[in-house]
Amino acid sequence: MKKAMAYNNNLIAHLRSGNGTPLKPGKKIEAYLFALFVEDMRPGAQGIGVNYGRLGDNLPPPDQVIALYKSNNIQRIRLFDPNPDALKALQGSGLQVILGVVNTDLPTLANDQSAAATWVQVNIIPYAPTVNFRCISLGNELIPSYLASYVLPSMQNLKTALISANLMIPVSTAVFENVLSTSYPPSAGHFQVDAAPFMVPIVQFLEENNYPLLCNVYPYFSYRDDPKNVRLDYALFNTSEGGRGLGDEEMDTIVNAQMYNNNLIAHVVSSVGTPKRPGKGIETYVFAVFNEDLKPNGSEQHYGLFYPNLTVVYPVNFCP
């Protein structure tokens, strides 16, 4: 990035000087830079990433993880905390990064602008020249909770700190789908009573700044908790067959996980969008890259696309 900036600035300075060329000295040259925008329409790049959780005692080092992403054409990554080793491994990788701020840091960031400035100084500025920060997510699934009141002021303070450092990086937060009192069908959704006092001003802040809202969606839990009203084919993005019934013991099999993630990726890449926003792609991050053995006992230990030894749990096509 530094070399690109130096080249373009030097080119513009040369053109403005009017020196011309040895063959045509003093003659101005008309030139156009390539290009105005970062063009992110390469195969596999249309909005697909994978969450990189680190709750395991047998996970590979970050440099191997980033190499795994690149070898599988996964071009976006979500980190849940600013781990220095992971950030160092991301330098020069070309991956687009959503970086998380851990939940327990939000009270300090919300109450102290200098703490927000320090957080940016430590976790962003050293890496910003060679790491493509797409967004900073403050907190994960904090609304509603006893920390909910800190989400908006921490976002506001971090935004101020980023702007002061001449960094135009969006800030956001990640919410669980239970912020909606009704989520199915989506057109009937609205914020639940406990979440609305926090969500309404947060959404207003995000809209005013053209920042995204991150939402963790778990179709598995929706189907498990309400199989009569949430069809399995709907939860799996499976449009080729309708109403296929399976027993509970089959519901979370590798076959279904593979079907869901491949169908999800194909849907996102197609840019079909939603009924509310047709034709608009939705940036999506698959959960998660590894099986993590230090997560609470249950299905979340087995959400990985890869085993910790870097072998695949099941094949996923990131370039459908």
pLDDT digits (tens, 9 = 90+) for 178-224: 899 887 677 788 899 999 999 999 999 999 999 999 999 888 888 88
Please state, in angstroms and rounded to a whole number, the distance separating the CA atoms of residues 248 and 197.
Answer: 37
Question: What's the pLDDT score for residue 185?
Answer: 74
* Identity of the residue numbered 50: V
Q: Determine the average pLDDT of the residues in 51-80.
A: 97
Q: Is residue 313 part of a domain?
A: no
What's the CATH code of the domain at 179?
Answer: 3.20.20.80
Overall domain count for the chain: 2
Do both 51 and 177 map to the same domain?
yes
Query: Of 58, 52, 106, which Cα lies nearest the Cα of 76?
Result: 52
Do both 196 and 170 map to the same domain?
yes
pLDDT band at residue 301 under the 50/70/90 scheme: confident
Do both 25 and 129 map to the same domain?
no
pLDDT at 113 over 50: yes
Q: Is residue 319 part of a domain?
A: no
Please state, in angstroms and rounded to a whole number, the distance separating the CA atoms of residues 126 and 121.
Answer: 7
Q: What is the dihedral of CA 67, 69, 74, 76, to 10 degrees?
A: -100
Do both 130 and 150 map to the same domain?
yes
Do both 196 and 285 map to the same domain?
yes
Token duo for residue 259: 């079907």
**Domain encompassing residue 115:** 41-302
Question: What b-and-e string marks burial along 3-42, b requiring 16 or more CB atoms within 10 Å of the CB?
Answer: eeeeeeeeeeeeeeeeeeeeeeeeeeeeeeeeeeeeeeee
Q: Is residue 58 part of a domain?
A: yes
Do both 5 and 118 map to the same domain?
no
Q: Is residue 254 part of a domain?
A: yes
| Ramachandran category for residue 20: left, alpha or beta (phi over 0 → left; psi -120 to 50 → alpha) | left
Do both 57 and 28 map to the same domain?
no
Geometric angle at alpha carbon 3, from 34 and 161, rounded to 5°: 95
Q: Is residue 311 part of a domain?
A: no
Q: Is residue 233 part of a domain?
A: yes
Q: Is residue 78 part of a domain?
A: yes
Share of residues in the chain with pLDDT > 90 (%)? 61
Q: Determine the average pLDDT of the residues in 31-60.
A: 69
Question: What's the pLDDT score for residue 19?
Answer: 74
Do both 65 and 207 map to the same domain?
yes
| Residue the block writes with tokens 């949430």 | 230
Geometric angle at alpha carbon 26, from 23 and 30, rounded to 5°: 85
Token duo for residue 39: 């063009």
Please state, in angstroms and rounded to a whole number, the distance separating the CA atoms of residues 291 and 179.
Answer: 27
Do both 14 and 94 map to the same domain?
no
Do both 222 and 92 map to the same domain?
yes
Do both 24 and 64 map to the same domain?
no
Q: What's the whole-number average pLDDT of the chain?
A: 86
pLDDT in tens, 253-291: 888 899 999 999 998 888 888 888 888 888 999 999 999
Contacts of residue 98, Cβ cutoff 8 Å, sequence gap at least 6: 49, 76, 77, 78, 79, 134, 135, 136, 137, 214, 285
Among 7-11, 133-137, 315-319, which is the least confidently predicted range?
A: 7-11
Do both 11 and 47 map to the same domain?
no
The secondary structure of residue 278, as a DSSP letter, is: B
- Please answer whether residues 228 and 243 qualify as being in contact, where contact means their C-beta atoms are separated by less than 8 angstroms: no
pLDDT band at residue 15 under the 50/70/90 scheme: low
Q: Is residue 318 part of a domain?
A: no
